[in-house]
Amino acid sequence: MSVIAIPFKNEDPNVVLANIRTAAGHPRIEEVWAIGHTPDIRRGVDEIIGEGPARIILFPEERLGSLRPGKGDAMNTALQRADRAGIDRLHFYDADILNFDSDWIDGAEEAADRGFDVVRHTFPRAATDAMITWFVTRPMLAIKYPGTILPRIGQPLGGELLLTRKAISELARNEDVRSRSDWGIDTVLTHAAVASGFSLYEHHVPDGKQHALYGSLVELRDMVLECFDAAASLDPRQPPPVRHQRDADAAVPESLKATTAYDYDSSASIVTATPSPQESDLIERLQPALSRPVRDLAERGDWSGLDAPTWYEFLTFALPRFQLGDPGWDAFLFRMWTGRVLWYTTEVAIDGYDAAMGYLESTVRGYEQRAGDLSSRR
């Protein structure tokens, strides 16, 4: 039996309810699990329960993890329940998707029918969207696992995926997955599935995922820090080769190419804000080890040197040192990431969608190459 799990928090109730309805109306789906405790969504779900054909069940996330309680607890609640109930296929979809329809479900089910253990949805994103994927997760995976599939997965932070029975049962027993209650859950699940040797299909959604975008980059602060921490925490051993296929890319919608995904002006003030005493202390301590462009950003809010090689060096420097929850490190890492995003926006994204995507992909490949050369010389 196939189940769809939809974690929700502060989303537009109409969007969440429409997605629950779509999920419950699909012939392959027997149950829809809506996981969260926002009161107006609970009330709305109460009204559509029983519309069928699939059963809709609403329950809050359990406190399973050890980090900030968040999306990870919600996903792990579904994973544990699916394991206990012996569910064959568990789909996850974010609650805020505006263009969720039966094609997403069909695409995942069909790949599972062809024998893939895990299916991940992948889709085009605006040139200035996915800034954590492009400047934290994929670079970190490139640095740690060069030459493997891990840095090449399109949406390593994607919350849209399908796990088959084998994967459910293995991942439900994985302590790193279970403890990751925060935004780090996606990174840890992506890594654990590959490290466990599961075959992977990437199903392409050509229209892109239309969902809630951001104002200032400040809204992404927790996500940046938790995703960095999750990537840094991953077992450094290289994963085994896994069977992997993906749909061919399709033409990207023009509207998506023209989308600006965050507000530049309000974000620029993040890098120029006066550092807290903790951040100043940290920078002073690290100062002798920091490169010139990093110091220029830390001390004067000047992000003009945050190019790809500087960012590689910064990530490898922060990798063994960053401490999630340390106010100095949190502020410093977030300021640096913001500077890197601003640099990319003004130096690269400005040249248009295709050039931007070429830059982002080749930067990750370049990092893999650099990390691979280093590890072969060790």
Ligand X SMILES: Nc1nc2c(ncn2[C@@H]2O[C@H](COP(=O)(O)OP(=O)(O)O)[C@@H](O)[C@H]2O)c(=O)[nH]1
Which spans of this chain sit near ligand X (rule: CB under 6 A)?
7-9, 11, 35-36, 61, 70-71, 74, 94-96, 159, 211-212
Residue with smaller CB distance to ligand X, 13 or 146: 13
Query: What number of residues does the chain have?
Result: 378
Residues 6+ apart with CB under 8 A from 52: 24
Least distance in angstroms from the C-beta of 211 to ligand X:
5
Asked whether 151 and 145 are in contact (CB, 8 A), the reply is yes
Residue with smaller CB distance to ligand X, 222 or 302: 222
Least distance in angstroms from the C-beta of 94 to Mg ion:
5
Q: Does 11 bind Mg ion (CB under 5 A)?
A: no
Distances (CA, A) of 91 to 21, 159, 170, 235: 15, 9, 16, 26
User: Helix crossing, 277-286 with 327-347: angle to 10°?
Assistant: 80
Dig out the tokens for 118 from the structure: 């895990």
Least distance in angstroms from the C-beta of 129 to Mg ion:
10
Alpha-carbon distance 102 to 100, whole Å? 7
When CB distances are held under 5 to 8 angstroms depending on the partner's kind, the choice from Mg ion, ligand X, none that residue 160 binds is none
Alpha-carbon distance 53 to 150, whole Å? 38
Q: Does 96 bind Mg ion (CB under 5 A)?
A: yes
Asked whether 274 and 248 are in contact (CB, 8 A), the reply is no
Helix then strand then coil, in percent of the chain rounded to 5, is: 55, 10, 35
Residue with smaller CB distance to ligand X, 112 or 224: 224
Q: Does 9 bind Mg ion (CB under 5 A)?
A: no
Least distance in angstroms from the C-beta of 100 to ligand X:
11
Dig out the tokens for 105 from the structure: 């479900």
The DSSP code sequence of 96-111 is T-SS--HHHHHHHHHH
When CB distances are held under 5 to 8 angstroms depending on the partner's kind, the choice from ligand X, Mg ion, none that residue 83 binds is none
Least distance in angstroms from the C-beta of 137 to Mg ion:
16
Least distance in angstroms from the C-beta of 125 to ligand X:
10
Q: Does 211 bind Mg ion (CB under 5 A)?
A: yes
Asked whether 242 and 198 are in contact (CB, 8 A), the reply is yes
Residue with smaller CB distance to ligand X, 160 or 170: 160
When CB distances are held under 5 to 8 angstroms depending on the partner's kind, the choice from ligand X, Mg ion, none that residue 9 binds is ligand X
Query: Segment contacting Mg ion (CB under 5 A): 56-64, 206-214, 226-234, 311-319?
Result: 206-214
Residue with smaller CB distance to ligand X, 42 or 295: 42
Side chain identity at residue 259, one-letter code: T
Residue with smaller CB distance to Mg ion, 222 or 296: 222
Residue with smaller CB distance to Mg ion, 158 or 339: 158
Least distance in angstroms from the C-beta of 67 to ligand X:
12
Distances (CA, A) of 5 to 33, 130, 195, 264, 309: 5, 23, 24, 34, 40
Least distance in angstroms from the C-beta of 101 to ligand X:
17
Query: Segment contacting Mg ion (CB under 5 A): 72-80, 208-216, 286-294, 310-318?
Result: 208-216
- The C-alpha angle 18, 24, 25, rounded to 5 degrees, equals 90
Alpha-carbon distance 261 to 264, whole Å? 9
Applying CB under 5 A, the residues found at the interface with Mg ion are 96, 211
